[in-house]
Every structure is written in structure tokens, then in C-alpha cells.
Structure 1
Amino acid sequence: MRKPKPKTIIGTDQARRVIWMYNRFLEGNSYASAEMYEEIIKTFKVNISLRTVQRDLRILHEMIPNMEQVNVGRQVYWQLSKNALTPLYLSKIDANDKLGFYFLKAYLKQFKNSVISDELQKLSKKIEKIADGNLYIEESFNSIAEHGKYDYQKHNVFFEDLLQAIINKQWLNITYRDLFTTEIHHQFALFRGFFFFRGSILFIAFVPRKHGDLAIPLENISNSSPAEPYNDYVPEFNAKAFFENRYGVSDGPLINVELQFLPEIAPLYASRQWHPKQEVFPQSDDSVIIKFPIMMNAEFIKWVMSIGKGLKILSPQILIDQVKEQCEAVLRLNS
């Protein structure tokens, strides 16, 4: 009777190398023995032989059944089989997840010549296993200019200064212009973070005199200088609360709106979420009434006006009056 093959016992250093190899293979890479040897020497800074690395690969092969050897010409490459590289959750990814992966893969290509290009290449290989092919039209990132484009190159140094202020939690004295007016403000502020919205880089800043957080476009900030720390209580920034009842980024009074979308546009607007707390009421004439709370700011009024003749504002009256005032101003200017 044939004796069972004894299990291979490996030491600590060898275990570290084998685990490191396995992680490289999990990234979708394939290596010839000589290539893996060079990577091991470079990473671990050790004096070992090629034969030692070949033994490590054979041990990994014993431990991982999905390790395979592929002949390419006269060269033999080690790699994990495609089944081993397929994520266990892949079958559970729904359409929205897959859309996100296609978007991410296309967006990452914009950084292909940056300082993190090597790391991005590895990440892109992983994403490729979920979102196969180049299906997202990446040119759309730079060609659709619905909100215009702003050249931020002249703001590079200023942008870096604001980032450092956020990291160091440094209070600043700032001079900035309102989003939709020419009014200039001089304020004491603590910057929280930044985001990209409608062609602009916006910073969230806590301004004690305003009793809360503001969104300020980078291009609207004309000056900043270090300030002494603020000694009173500063609340944590709640991003969900900040954005939840806000269409756009500017401030305004909170109102409860009731909008009726006429039959010709009702399917489009009823099928989308405009607010996390919206209520949708289909009507017998095929129109739809949608209700939700929202800040009545400049962006929301512009959005309501952009819908055109297919929309009837049922309430509140203050919104109806604001839209009428804006429409009359447009007519006067263009008559």
C-alpha cells in the first residue's frame, strides 16, 4: 500500500514569500520563475537562489489547486486560473453595481500618466473581471459641458493651501464672493472638505457668523490667511443633513412643495427620485403630483423654470411668486 505524501512544512520566511506570491497572483498577474525571482529579490532584499523561488512556487501549487502553468513559446508562466480570480460575489452584482464599475474603469483612465499609474493598472485589471471591455464612452467626461468648464490651473497653489488647512484643522480668515451675487464677504472659517459639482470645485466651510456650513466655489475665494483657533463649540459636519433638503448647494428657506407634472412629461418625472422623502400621487388624467420638502434656493427655482409648460406649481405660494417674478424679468430683458 502506497504511503500518503507527507505535508510540506514551511518556515516563517518561506511562508511570507509564498503569501506575497499568492497576493500577486490574485491581482491577475502571471510570472515566469525568473520574473518572480527578480520580484522577490527586489521586495524582500534577500540573498536566495532561483531554485528556492521555484520550490516556493511548487509549494504554492500544492496549497492552491487553482494554480496553473501556461506555456508561452518556450517559457512557462505561473498564474491562477480564471475561475479562481472570479470574485465570489460576482453573481450577486446587479445592473447598478456593474454600471458603477464601467464608469470607474473609464474614469481611472484619465489618470494613466499620473504618479499612481502603476497602481491604477493593477486596479483596472481587477475591475476588468467584473466589467469586461471598454463600453463606457470615456470621451463624455470632457465633451459634455452643460454647466461650462472652469480652468483651475491658476488655482493650484491656493487649492493646496486649502487642503493643508483641512488636514491640519487650521482656521482661516477668508474673502469670498456669494454664489449668485457680487456681494463680497470677509469671514472666519474652518474648512471641512471639498467636492465637485456642476463644473466647479466647492469647499464646505463652517462659518460661525453664519451659524452653520456653507458651500463656496474655489474660484469665488479670493484670499485666505491663517487665523487663531475658534474657542467655542463647533458641531461635526453632517453631510447627509447638509445635502438632503438642498437642490444644488446654496441656502434658502425650507418649504414643502407640491408639483403637478402634466401627462406629456409625467412618465419621465414620476420614474425618477428627486428627493429621498418624495411622495408620488398618480392622477386620473395621467398627470402626476410629487410632494417633498426642499430649500427654496436659486438652483431649485432655476430647475422648476427649466421644466417649462409641462409643470404646474400647486404650492407653496411663495414659490409661485418667485417663479412669476423670474419669468417676468426674463420677458422684460428680452422684449
Structure 2
Amino acid sequence: MSFNKLALIRYKTIDECLRNRGRRWTLENLIEKVSEALYEYEGMLDGVSKRTIQLDLQMMRSDKLGYNAPIIVVDRKYYTYEDKEYSIMKNSLSSQDLDKLSDIVKLLKQFKGFDYFEDIGAMVGRLEGKILQQKNQTQAFIDFEKNELLKGLEWIDPLLKAIKNKTCLDILYQSFKAKESSKFPVHPYLLKEYRNRWFLLCKTGDRNGITIYALDRMQAIEENLLAEYIEAEVDVIHFFDDVIGVTKTVGQEPVNIILQIDQENMPYVLTKPLHSSQKVLEKDENGMTISIDVVVNYELEREIMGFGEHMKVLAPNFLQRRIKKRFEKSLLNYQNNEDKEN
């Protein structure tokens, strides 16, 4: 059953009336008050029917929403609560509600490191405390991939606010290759997560094009109130549609990649496609051949090499040669170790 906004307004209004013992409430009185509330909150001019209010009273009396409201009729005409202290707003959660909320809290607790919003950790803690007052604590039954030692998560919230408010920022940043950090202005557009690492898609100062920065390499962030925010010149929402990972430059076009997967790993690639563009070109007892349309980048190569001998690049030729060269170099590392042992 749908518990919508209009129903909530009606239940709350009826509850306020029945709690007010300074007045006797007939069915007509309740219809009038609910109609006034619907007009005030939703601008509804049609009011509410007698049948709707009768069904609302019946629903509030029942256990379907967990209310079990002690609504009685006095002198066969006036509605009130038998318990003068009762209110649906004070009502305890049902056991079904508690079960669902408990599961939700356990899921949220796994993401407390990701501060999309301020005080989410405290919010989850308060919610958990309220639930545990009525329910014994149980273990979690769903476990997401996470790494609580990840760096840079503290920047998610200020970056998200800057994106929403279209605010220019000054970022102190040091890449893995740089010997020292540098400070520069950015115009933030989008936060992107890939394999538990977070990245910022933005424009750097007055430079042309788009830049992508890893949050775990940021050392400080502050608002730049003197700089005027520059809107994105590309569709940031779909910028990564043709990418595996996050490495891409503006104007970089996707390439049709043809891959051969053996029988052993075929089910894994079928159930978890490498990319949304994946198409099965051929399938037999030896495996299958697929195609994906993505830009060629480091993450794609790492994905292919992660399958080892179970995946082979058929096209394009330049990517086949590149993967072959990397495997040859890797094999050379092991051969050098064998030579040292001998």
C-alpha cells in the first residue's frame, strides 16, 4: 500500500484534532479541518470526501501502518482518543520497521567515511541508538567493498558543496610524480569514484580542457572568492560514459576493442561486463569474442592484463602490441629471478 504525502497530511491533521480535547470532533469537523490542511500545504481546493476520512480513521485504528490508534466514538457522534496521551507521532516503530531500519543503518555505517553530507556519521549513530532502544543488536548481513584507510575522503564534502554552489577553489596538490606540492585554482564540476578512489573532474585556472585530480593527492582546499566560476564546456555527466576508469582527455575518441575470452572466464565477463558497450560477437565451446567501445587508457590495459592468459586482444593492432610488450616485460622480470637463483 502506498503511504503518500497527502495521506500523511490527513493522518497528522486527524491526530492533532483527536488530541485536542478542548473541542468535540464530529466526522464533519474532521473533514473540514483536513480540507483546510490540504489547501494550506498543497493548495488543493477540492477538499476531501467523507469516505476518505472514514477510511483514514480505519487505517489509523489498524496495524497496517503500525499505529493501532485507540480511536473511539463518544455518544455515537464524537471522535476522540481513548488514551488522552496517545499520538501517532509518538508511536513506536513496528517490528517490521525496526528490521528494515536496522539493515539500513548497518549499510550506512559502512559508508561513514564518505562524508557526502556533514555529520552523517553522527546521524547514523543517533539513528542506530534509537533503534537499539527498541531492538536487540544484530550482526550485519551485507558487506560492501571498502577501505577505511583511504586518504582524501575528507575532501568529498567541501568539493560537493563547491560543485553545487559553483564556487572556485584553490587546491594544494602533489601528484605521485611531483617532488613538491603546488597550489592552483580549479572550477569543480563532478566527483567520480573508481575502485574506492575518488577523483575531481574540473577546469584548472584558465587552461583549456578538463583536468582530473585524485582526492588522495590533495593536501588542502579553500574557497577562492576572487575568481569567477567558469562553467564546463563539456557534458560532465556523460564525460566518462566511454571510459573504463577515469583517465581521459577532452576530444579523445573511443576505439572499438575486440577481445577473446576463454571458456573458463567467459561466465565472469558475461555476468559482469567490462563496459556498458560490451557486445558478444561470437560464442562457442572454447569461449567467446566480445567488443567494447572505449578510450584506450591505463585502466583498460590493467583490466585486460588482470585476466592474464584468459584474455587476448584481437584488435586494434596497436593495443595488441602494447599488451604483448607489457607481458613480455613482466615475464622478463621472472626470468631474471630464475637466473639469479641458478
Q: Same fold (TM over 0.5)?
A: yes
| Structure 2: stretches of 5+ with no match in the other structure | 1-6, 32-52, 63-67, 71-81, 89-93, 95-100, 113-119, 131-137, 337-342
1:108·1:120 contact (CA, 8 Å) conserved in 2?
no
Q: Deviations over 1:182-218 (max 9, x none)?
A: 5877654201232433222322212366643333221
CA RMSD of aligned residues (A): 4.7
Q: Deviations over 1:89-119 (max 9, x none)?
A: xxxxxxxxxxxx9986642355686236667
| Structure 1: stretches of 5+ with no match in the other structure | 1-17, 26-35, 42-47, 80-84, 86-100, 123-133
Q: Is 1:205 matched up with 2:202?
A: yes
2:262·2:310 contact (CA, 8 Å) conserved in 1?
yes
TM-score, normalising length: structure 2:
0.57
Cα distance, 1:160 vs structure 2? 5.3
Counterpart AA for 2:141: I
Q: Is 1:331 matched up with 2:331?
A: yes
Q: How many residues align?
A: 259
In the alignment, the residues of structure 1 paired with residue 290 and residue 296 of structure 2 have an alpha-carbon distance, to the nearest angstrom, of 16
In structure 2, the CA distance between the partners of 1:284 and 1:232, relative to structure 1 (3 Å rule), is: closer
Q: Helix, strand or coil for the counterpart of 2:308? A: helix
In the alignment, the residues of structure 2 paired with residue 150 and residue 197 of structure 1 have an alpha-carbon distance, to the nearest angstrom, of 13
Structure 2 residue aligned with 1:67: 60
In structure 2, the CA distance between the partners of 1:269 and 1:174, relative to structure 1 (3 Å rule), is: same
Q: Is 1:170 matched up with 2:167?
A: yes
Cα distance, 1:243 vs structure 2? 1.6
Structure 2 residue aligned with 1:189: 186
In the alignment, the residues of structure 1 paired with residue 230 and residue 69 of structure 2 have an alpha-carbon distance, to the nearest angstrom, of 69
Structure 1 residue aligned with 2:317: 317
2:256·2:292 contact (CA, 8 Å) conserved in 1?
yes
Equivalent residues in 2 for 1:111-260, closer than 5 Å: 114-115=122-123, 137-138=141-142, 140-141=143-144, 144=145, 149-152=149-152, 156=154, 161-178=158-175, 181-182=177-178, 187-207=184-204, 211-224=208-221, 226=224, 228-229=226-227, 234-235=232-233, 237-240=235-238, 242-251=239-248, 254-260=254-260
Identity within the alignment, %: 18
1:148·1:199 contact (CA, 8 Å) conserved in 2?
no
In structure 2, the CA distance between the partners of 1:256 and 1:71, relative to structure 1 (3 Å rule), is: closer
Structure 2 residue aligned with 1:261: 261
Equivalent of 2:21, from 51, 67, 88? 51
TM-score, normalising length: structure 1:
0.58
2:167·2:229 contact (CA, 8 Å) conserved in 1?
no
